[in-house]
Amino acid sequence: MKTIVCFWFVLGALSASGKVLVTKPGQKAILECGVNTFTKQLEWYHEKDLLHRVSHRGFPSKGKGEIVTNSKVKQTKLEIVLVKKEYAGKFICIADENRQEHTLLVASVSVKASPSTELQLGSEAELDCQVEGLDQGSTATWKRPDGSLHSGILKSVDHSDEGDWECTFPSGGETYSQILAIKVKGPTPVPADPTLSQGTTCVDCVTHPPSVTAFLLGLSWWVWVAVGAGCLVVVLLLVFVIILCKRIKKKQGKFQAMKNGRQPLKPKKYCKCDSPAAAAKPQQKRRREKPSALPPQPLLML
């Protein structure tokens, strides 16, 4: 008889232990009461504070606080729309005589480095894992991508630090985790010389890379020779065209000059001066000449 009583007591304790729900700030969380219906009333508590109470007739009543405005009851489930760190802790659901207790853990993982989770090779960084709602004495620990434990403080970032870091924390006899992806940036490698793959060796390629003019734009030498020859041909054509135009103009000038020489001469135009005319010379007095003898007249015939 005592064995049966102990069995039912342990079974009731397990059913009342509830679940552990892990979420992040800003996400949605849904807590189940453990029953689908109730006959008298349904109550949800956060620690000792009343959140929601619903009677069997459907008349709801609410408590006070920010978490009340950010949560609502759907049938028997409690839905938190926007989770905050302050909401972490114990949530208790009482439906008639059934009691269900849940634990909400709000985990936040981040890396403290500049500029972001893409760490520079050789820089310093610190991984931060904060979990609200853990039991007293429980702490979070970091695991490297290879699975080994780590304090989360990186004094000199290496390529081996790249990957998924796992923040683990215990609650209710189980272990939970959150993943933080880390990327490591290193110096840009020097591209290999394509000419070296043809059997040649280069000793100082790293310390003394080839000049930019030798491989400008990545084109081969024969391409640049063809471009230079084309430019030379264009220049010679321009010079030929200029000389030809000058000769044509010169011939046109000679032809015009010959054409103008064949035209009839025009009377010369003298310049009319506006200066006053010279004074007329005085006329000399002419000598009186003796009148010439009259010509002989013919004799009249009677």
118 confidence band (pLDDT: 50, 70, 90) = confident
Residue with the larger pLDDT of the pair 204 and 79: 79
Can you give the pLDDT at residue 96? 86
Mean pLDDT of 54-80: 87
C-alpha dihedral (250, 251, 255, 256), degrees to nearest 10: -30
Residue with the larger pLDDT of the pair 186 and 86: 86
Residue with the larger pLDDT of the pair 18 and 226: 226
Half-sphere exposure of 22 (CA within 13 A, CB side): 18
Residue 13 above 50 pLDDT? no
d(CA 80, CA 31): 8
Can you give the pLDDT at residue 135? 79
Strand partners, 176: 169
Tell me the DSSP string of 92-142.
EEEETTEEEEEEEEEEEEEEE-SSSSEEETT--EEEEEEEETPPTT---EE
- Report the range of poorest mean pLDDT among 85-99, 109-123, 172-186, 200-214: 200-214
Residue 44 above 90 pLDDT? yes
Residue with the larger pLDDT of the pair 92 and 136: 92
Mean pLDDT of 97-108: 89
Mean pLDDT of 209-218: 56
Question: What are the domain boundaries of the chain?
Answer: 16-185
Enumerate residues 6+ apart whose C-beta is below 8 A from 154: 119, 124, 125, 126, 127, 161
What's the start-to-end Cα distance of the chain, in Å?
Answer: 222
Can you give the pLDDT at residue 193? 57
Strand partners, 132: 106
38 confidence band (pLDDT: 50, 70, 90) = confident
Mean pLDDT taken over the chain = 76
Can you give the pLDDT at residue 18? 73
93 confidence band (pLDDT: 50, 70, 90) = very high
40 confidence band (pLDDT: 50, 70, 90) = confident
Residue 242 above 90 pLDDT? yes
Can you give the pLDDT at residue 142? 92
Buried b vs exposed e over 72-100: b needs ≥16 C-beta within 10 Å? ebeebebebeebeeebbeebbbbbeebbb
Q: Count of CB atoms within 10 A of residue 35's CB? A: 14
d(CA 163, CA 118): 11
The percentage of residues in the chain with a pLDDT greater than 70, rounded to a whole number, is: 68
Q: Is 146 helix (H, G, I), strand (E, B) or coil?
A: coil
d(CA 43, CA 55): 9
Q: Which fold has domain 16-185?
A: Immunoglobulin-like (2.60.40)
Can you give the pLDDT at residue 46? 92
247-293 pLDDT, tens digit per residue, is 888 888 888 878 776 655 555 555 555 555 555 555 555 555 555 55
